[in-house]
Chains A and B, each alone.
Chain A
């Protein structure tokens, strides 16, 4: 039994094993409590599709050697900005959705490039710098959202008429456009097919990228910078490529998230978003130095199903207070803490 346990934890890592066990216990409780099981499955699928691309954004940053991208909020802010512009342009539906994505790419790329230059100057401290960079930019944008010259009455404060609202409803714009695409019912609950397909396509594209010459160079630069340099790979450039990609995917990720969620959350909304994505990929078995597509997929499914299922189950057990929120926080930060204690200890 002990040997079995050890081989399991060695292979998958503690976070993945514990979270899986926890999820199983919650599922059993859900059955015991006679929860609406198809509903829970639907909630899980929605959350997986919603967050998957944000989690995917961690892949290039981890593999290019800049570690977990705690500064992902920068990309997220770019995505939100692009989304607001698409509304300002008075677009609707899929057109609005894809315009927002296309618009976000140049923003995120420029921000990612600048951020990459910064990270190249602070090698070894990327994750600390990234965290505070993210916090700073989110705070700075709190002023930005007030000052940006948006005019659309849907977005600006009703009273005073200046500055964007804290939450912008997308119900009339592109809320649920991909969730409803090719949607079909299982056990009476709709499946967000389009969003899941989008996540799948993102994974496939990333998988292909990691097999290209640039992808291989990027992974080598992340795995062992001195080796890469000795073999004629420009390590700083690869790190910038990784950072830019991560930001671009983050920007797209938040648009997909908002599409499913139905709202853009401005101001301090993006502040903690990177942490969810980070803990998901860590639960999937990634480390701060290495991550694969399978880490993304399994981590996203485990972490976000956990959140979807824990909410009703725990609230039924303890209706007073918001224990499920506490569980989410413990899992999110606990897993990050565990991963950070492992950094630089593998030799």
Chain B
């Protein structure tokens, strides 16, 4: 039986700086099978693949524990070259192709077929000339195997995305010793018909004896092609099943399911007739990687609205679009007045405030003091914290005394741990930087506070403090909060309603107490087809 498995991972664990991201994972892939690996973002799929490919990031951070057994032999994969030599290939999510090179050149890159010429006989092999005909013949063969009818001598640049994906695959299967092929979310960028074709190709390849490890979060595809399925959650392998035992609902539940600690307050029954403070109509946002496609939504006064979904589905785009950070189209009404989009100043003037998900890039002036970080938006837009020069109203100077007073109050209220208000924002820990961002938003005294990924990159203790703070603001000041987060658990612990975004569209709105199955299905974009399964 042992020999049947191309790849066996035994008790593989990995720590990043004391943070366990993989816990004793076992994975068994048979020759010629399609093995699906599913899980939410951050479940540990990528880390597992990095280990399999010997990526430097693994070995630079202390390596891993456990065993990799490839074709019955224990394998030490220290570099990507080791992995290639063993016959492990990878089709990347972002294409690793050189746009200016032709298809053949890309397929044969660094594995060129060469022949001797006069100079190389004297000066050595590195000056051999390319045997372009042989290279093209190989490439043609590989492309044909995939059912592609395309000239192999056109450059990559300008090809449709779907074709690029197939060129990637052609490159991998052109390697003669390929035994295991990893597909990392290959259908994410493909149109439906292209995705169909890709799945067919995968079936073909596996019929030829190549094992396929298929990483995805599109559950219908998993059911369509996979022979066996491994589900991961929080770095643990939580389930392994055969296709015949699997249903959409079952996978969804296992993928999402975890204990939800409703730590903060009782779920409020949101009332259908609550006053609407913001209505969003047909909002589309061109945020690279987080595109929003025509969303309609209502935000009610005094609620905490959660926006969830997997990475890349567009949830982050909503707040960024409304605040004017990325090009947005559609209509947004605050009460009855229409908000001018694509104008951050107007958005802030209209009583909105935003805590960006990209804290160090958009959220902070890293080399500026905490106090200036806190007051600058308010100073620039609401003209607060200013005074005239010698009483002259014409020239407005910053009012250092008022700024200091306010900053001290904020530092005390939000418990920002720092050496003083003039410390540089760069020197603070992630959690405290986040509090500075929130303090700036609060200084604007907003009607609606948008918070994106408030706990990203901060440690567990600080996470709870930040969430508690949001709840406190909501309860005590009655502030309406719209929180976008990749962590469903966190959304379910403090939100009143949770909107799930899939493929740039609103998949549905759930109550935090709804079942894991519903959340799982919605995040995978399968909620509407639930009845079918």
Interface residues of A (CB under 8 A from B): 208, 211-213, 216-217, 219-220, 223-224, 226-227, 229-233, 289-290
Q: Which residues of B sit under 8 angstroms from A213, Cβ to Cβ?
A: 379-380, 383, 386, 396-398
Which of B348, B367, B376, B398 sits near A211, CB closer than 8 Å? B398
Q: State A226–B366 Cα separation when bound (angstroms).
A: 12
**B interface SS class:** mixed
Contact status B325-A229, CB under 8 Å? yes
Minimum distance in angstroms from B156 CB to a CB of chain A: 26
Within 8 A of A (CB), among B360-393: 361-368, 372, 376-377, 379-381, 383, 386, 389
**A interface SS class:** helix
Which of A212, A226, A289 sits near B361, CB closer than 8 Å? A226
Q: State A175–B389 Cα separation when bound (angstroms).
A: 35
Contact status B348-A232, CB under 8 Å? yes
Q: Which residues of A sit under 8 angstroms from B347, Cβ to Cβ?
A: 232
Q: State A233–B344 Cα separation when bound (angstroms).
A: 8
Shortest Cβ distance from A223 into B: residue: B365
Contact status B380-A227, CB under 8 Å? no
Q: State A232–B382 Cα separation when bound (angstroms).
A: 11
Q: State A223–B377 Cα separation when bound (angstroms).
A: 14
B354 at the interface (CB under 8 A from A): yes
**Knowing that A217-B380, A220-B368, A231-B348 are A-B contacts, what are 11 other residue pairs whose CB atoms are under 8 Å apart, sorted by A's residue number?**
A208-B395, A208-B397, A212-B389, A213-B383, A213-B386, A213-B396, A216-B372, A224-B366, A226-B358, A229-B344, A232-B343
Minimum distance in angstroms from B64 CB to a CB of chain A: 28
Contact status A227-B344, CB under 8 Å? no
Minimum distance in angstroms from A110 CB to a CB of chain B: 24
Interface residues of B (CB under 8 A from A): 323, 325, 343-349, 354, 356, 358, 361-368, 372, 376-377, 379-381, 383, 386, 389, 395-398
Shortest Cβ distance from B361 into A: residue: A226
Given the known interface contacts A212-B395, A213-B383, the answer about A230 and B368 at a Cβ–Cβ threshold of 8 Å is no
Q: State A213–B379 Cα separation when bound (angstroms).
A: 7
Contact status A216-B345, CB under 8 Å? no
Which of A212, A224, A233 sits near B397, CB closer than 8 Å? A212
Which of B346, B348, B363, B389 sits near A227, CB closer than 8 Å? B363
Q: Which residues of B sit under 8 angstroms from A232, Cβ to Cβ?
A: 343-349, 377, 380-381
Given the known interface contacts A229-B344, A230-B325, the answer about A216 and B380 at a Cβ–Cβ threshold of 8 Å is yes
11 A-B pairs within 8 Å (CB atoms) are namely A208-B395, A212-B397, A213-B397, A216-B398, A226-B358, A227-B363, A229-B325, A232-B343, A232-B344, A232-B347, A233-B380
Q: State A211–B387 Cα separation when bound (angstroms).
A: 11
Q: State A216–B368 Cα separation when bound (angstroms).
A: 11
Shortest Cβ distance from B353 into A: residue: A231
Contact status B395-A223, CB under 8 Å? no
Contact status B344-A220, CB under 8 Å? no
Shortest Cβ distance from B381 into A: residue: A232
Q: State A290–B372 Cα separation when bound (angstroms).
A: 16
Which of A223, A224, A230 sits near B344, CB closer than 8 Å? A230
